[in-house]
Structures are given as C-alpha cells and as structure tokens.
Structure 1
C-alpha cells in the first residue's frame, strides 16, 4: 500500500513483469476501463434520451432531440457527459463524498434488477402479462423469491462500513446517498414526472 508509485495495483504489475511487462499489463487495464466507460456512456445516454422522450426531464424537448445528420441523440449524450464530469469533480474536493457516491452503484443496480421482479409479482393477475419466449414455469416464483431475498440481503451488507471501529472518516455514507436519491426521486415523481 505504501508503494512509491502511489498505485498498489500498478506496483504489483511492475513487480510481476518488470517495467516493460508492467506497462503492457497496465495498458490493458486502461483499455478495459476505456471500453467500460464507453458502454456505460452508451447505457446512460440511452436512458437519458428515453427519459427526455417521455418528458421526465426539465427541458425534455431539447434533450430528446435527435440529430438529423447522425440520427443520434447528441444532446442527451452531452447531458450525460457534462453531468458525469461534474459528478466526478466531487472527488477533487472530497474523497469520502465521491466514495459514498461510488458505493451506491452496486446496490442501486441490484435493486433496479429486482424492481422489475417485484413489480411483475405485485401486478400479477391485475394486469395482462404476456411472457416472452423463455419462461421458468413453476420455478419462476421460487427463483424470483430467492433473487429478491439475496438482493435485499447483499444490499444491506454493501451499506456497512468496511472497517471497525466506525469513525466519521471510514463510515460508508452510501446509505445517505441512497436516502437522498430516494427522497429526491419521490419528490420528482409527485411534482410532475408521473404525468
């Protein structure tokens, strides 16, 4: 951890492969991060455009506009680029705050997966549902129950601090970020997004 490079993983690569081998391994790490960023950018801008298309954003008409030349929602892409850049600048001012924001990503993603399962089971019988080409038949309910139980369990675990004793500097504030997101989303929903 006290490596002179300031990057423990880079030091492991340097120790394992020397300067040339370590550099090659580090290049692939950077390449993977770049492509991960590209796929995240694609997903985020697709969601931003869909929300704007459905008038769930302020200035939705502007964000939902599709470029005539490229046939892509460039405005939605730039919205995501600017928002994510501003979000990452928080890390310059406070490592603890940006870690709290990053620590919410895994539980939020997992909860988004089970939200669909819970909604399907909640509205089952009340709304006409047409299953897709693949269905688990009688096993779907027990598998859904296991998935929801696991995600609830692991989400609670992911909100725990990683060290003891818990202090103000090692506390996992992701639960505070989650509460803020939930509170903001509810206000946004009732203020007009539901219409």
Structure 2
C-alpha cells in the first residue's frame, strides 16, 4: 500500500499528483521537494491502489517527541469520494502510531469545510490558534492556516512547541524569520 519514494525516477511519478492537488502556495518547487528525499526526517510515499498503481501520495516528517507531521496528503481525483482516501489515512496513522499534526486551510468555502470534516472523521481536532505557514517558495508571503492534531486538541504551550518545531525543522526558519512570520 505505501511505497517509499527514494529515487528521482519514482519521485517523477508522484510529484504530478502533488502539483494537481495543491495550490502553489502550499507546494515546494519540484527541485526543493526532490531535495527533501535526502532529509533523514522526511518520508514521501506513493500510495498504491488494489491494482498496484499510484492512487495518491503522502509526505510526512518524523519529528522529535514522537510527533509526525503530515506535510501533504493527496488522492487522485478518480479515487476520491469512495472511501479510498479515508482507508489509506487510517492505515497510515495505525502504521505510524504517533501524535500527528497537519495544516489545513481556514473553513472559508464548502471545499475547505469538507476537508476539515474529513480529518475530523479520522480523529483529528481543530485548533483555533492563529497559525501562519511560512512561504513554501521564494517570493511568497506567509499563509494563514490552522493546525489539526490527533489524538486531541493542543493547549497553548504545546501549540507553541509544535509551531516552533514545524517552522524550524520543516520550513528551516531561523528565530529571526519566525519572528517576522508570526507577527
């Protein structure tokens, strides 16, 4: 079901799924995403369907304190709304057995509300702390999102710890950068 992407050849098979599933503000450049395969904390998995074809992709970071950050989760359009994505997410979370955090867009339209509800059905909790995702590409500005966590909600101190870890390890922001992002 999950096949770790380790080579550039395999990467080229899954990156288009990310490109069609995420806006530019939520996706690194092809070169930056490919370079992450060398990061010891980063894991990119092709999600194989019952015919062994790529049905989606999941990218995650193994972080300190037994924390897993789901960076990207995308299912091909033809596989959506049939339970495939939910089953895959549940299997992935059961396999990893860690505290999990992910970022979601604010619930401003039907699509973003449905995405949040999808994660809630799979055990995630909305955290209403203001959160700014650092730019994924040069020249972009921070982007307002919210964190969803599993197995439960975050208190303020834990939220700050998670935010700091994400900004420092995933986005590689310095303390000075973080001060500008969180204003």
TM, length-normalised to structure 2: 0.28
Q: Which has the larger radius of gyration?
A: 1
| Larger proportion of strand | 2
TM, length-normalised to structure 1: 0.27
| Larger proportion of helix | 1
